[in-house]
Amino acid sequence: MESSPLISIIIPAYNEASGIERTVNAVISVISACQINWEILVVDDGSQDDTNQTMMRLNSLDQRIKSLRLSRNFGKENALLAGLEYASGAAMITIDADLQHPPELIPAMIAEWQAGAQIVHAVKRTRQQETRLKKTATHLINQLISSLGGIDTTNSSDFKLLDREIAAIIVNQLPEKQRFFRGLTSWIGFTEAYLYFDVEQRSDGVSKWSFGSLFELSVTALTSFTSLPLRIVSLLGIVTLILGFLIASDAIWSLIQGRAVSGFATIIISILMIGSFIMISLGIIGEYIAKIYEEVKARPHYLISNTIGIKK
């Protein structure tokens, strides 16, 4: 065991006091059967419940169970990043705190890594217990990202194994504030492997994603991987220009023929249509400007209020 590599299991947790202990134990029962050294790093994403106290207790039982506490809720993407930065394993596995990602897959992931894969993606075979709205939204976003951004994130999850080298690249060389972990890990390339799993029901509590945060993530996913929406804006402009020319020539032709150009309705409709095109376009441009603003402010991704069992 002495010479076996250290594997870090990173678990982002936001108000998961009710289930975190069960998850940690489930992970331990799987990895202690593997011939590896391990550490579990729970990133407490500013939970307002007893997650932090639970982690202190778990750490006092087993020093290999560690925790980072972020100063407030920074969101899962940032929690994952904090985990990657503070974990010290030769490979790192990111897994949800609600047992929706089966820990039983971990040995297979480690095997893929030992066989040479630098990134192991766990891909959802099925999606259970998600609302129709969420399923449709996720499908739409994945479809958009893969067709516009050229990166296939269909059914991908945040359940992944990353080699230490890959984690370092994500932490140090991808400094963007607006992050989409799933997209970034496919974007960087290297040797990848894929494993499939069935999504379980959430073990405890409720999903921590609100419609708003999901929408936010979708916009981030889209804007950080493609600027095509901006080109669509120009396209809209060209379409209305052509339309304008056609209508203008029709009007002139009618004038030559001596017919009066009627068209109160036409005017109202075209004003409304062009007006909405302009506003949608401004909205799209605004999204990108907002992202640029976030980037130039260059605030840290997260702040740590305390650590449990971590020397750094």
Size of the site for ligand UDP (CB under 6 A): 17
100 binds Mg ion (CB under 5 A): yes
Q: What does the alpha-carbon distance between residue 121 and residue 158 come to, in Å, rounded to a whole number? A: 8
Nearer to ligand UDP, 117 or 222 (CB): 222
Which residues touch 40 (CB under 8 Å, ≥6 apart)?
8, 9, 11, 24, 27, 28, 64, 65, 66
- Show the binding pattern over residues 79-98: x = contacts Mg ion (CB under 5 A), - = does not: -------------------x
Q: Please list every residue from 93 through 112 that binds ligand UDP, using CB under 6 A.
A: 96-98, 100
Nearer to ligand UDP, 96 or 229 (CB): 96
Q: Please list every residue from 10 through 39 that binds ligand UDP, using CB under 6 A.
A: 12-14, 16
Q: Is the separation of the CB atoms in 149 and 220 below 8 Å?
A: no
131 binds ligand UDP (CB under 6 A): no
Question: Which amino acid, 93?
Answer: I
Which residue, 36, 45, 38, is CA-closest to 17?
45
Q: Residues 272-281: contacts with CB within 8 Å, 24+ apart?
A: 273/240, 274/240, 277/236, 277/237, 277/240, 280/236, 281/233, 281/236, 281/237
* Distance in Å, CB of 30 to ligand UDP, minimum: 17
73 binds ligand UDP (CB under 6 A): yes
142 binds Mg ion (CB under 5 A): no
Residues that bind ligand UDP (CB under 6 A): 12-14, 16, 45, 73, 75-76, 79, 96-98, 100, 202, 207-209
Residues that bind Mg ion (CB under 5 A): 98, 100
